[in-house]
Amino acid sequence: MNKKILFGSIAVFIAIDVLNFLIHGVMLSATYQSLSSLWRPDMMSKMWITHVNTAISAFFFTFVFSKGYEGKGVAEGVRYGFYIGFWLSALMAYGTYMMIAIPYPLAVQWFIYGLIQYVVAGVVLALVFAAQTKGGQKA
């Protein structure tokens, strides 16, 4: 596997995992507690699935970025993260809102926080790819 993809995937995984904790474990914790009747009673025993999903997402986020990487710096990561984040966050937030009786403000927060996560992940990825390129690695 290409080192850029490997290191990029790891960096994106860490960034998204940390942001998931801050967003869902800290910032939205009280909201989630107030909506406890909506969640699966065994949800906490299935949280490992989140880490598997994040690992798979980090790999494909990085893999797709690598196919169009132009070496244009942080702005390239912001743009990529915004495009992917808008697409995936809108699908997740509003698709869940359509299926589960969550309050609309929570759907909006999921969309906005998801968009921010992907923009941050795009920046991290652009920085990792730039560092790997400067280190003499080929794309």
Distance between CA atoms of 2 and 90, rounded to whole angstroms? 31
Residues 6+ apart with CB under 8 A from 35: 102, 103, 106
Cβ proximity of 112 and 93 under 8 Å: no
Split into its structural domains, the chain has a count of 1
For the chain, give the percent of residues with pLDDT over 70: 96
pLDDT score recorded for residue 44: 85
Model confidence over 62-108: pLDDT tens digits?
A: 999 999 999 999 999 999 999 999 999 999 999 999 999 999 999 99
pTM of the model: 0.89
- Round to the nearest angstrom and report the end-to-end CA distance of the chain: 11
**Looking at the domain assignment, is residue 95 inside a domain?**
yes
pLDDT score recorded for residue 18: 97
Q: Which domain holds residue 117?
A: 3-31+48-134
**pLDDT reading at 127 higher than 80:** yes
**Looking at the domain assignment, is residue 89 inside a domain?**
yes
Model confidence over 4-27: pLDDT tens digits?
A: 999 999 999 999 999 999 999 999
Cβ proximity of 117 and 16 under 8 Å: yes
pLDDT score recorded for residue 49: 94
**Looking at the domain assignment, is residue 102 inside a domain?**
yes
pLDDT score recorded for residue 40: 86
Neighbours of 32 (CB within 10 A): 15
Neighbours of 23 (CB within 10 A): 19
Cβ proximity of 115 and 85 under 8 Å: yes
Distance between CA atoms of 64 and 61, rounded to whole angstroms? 6
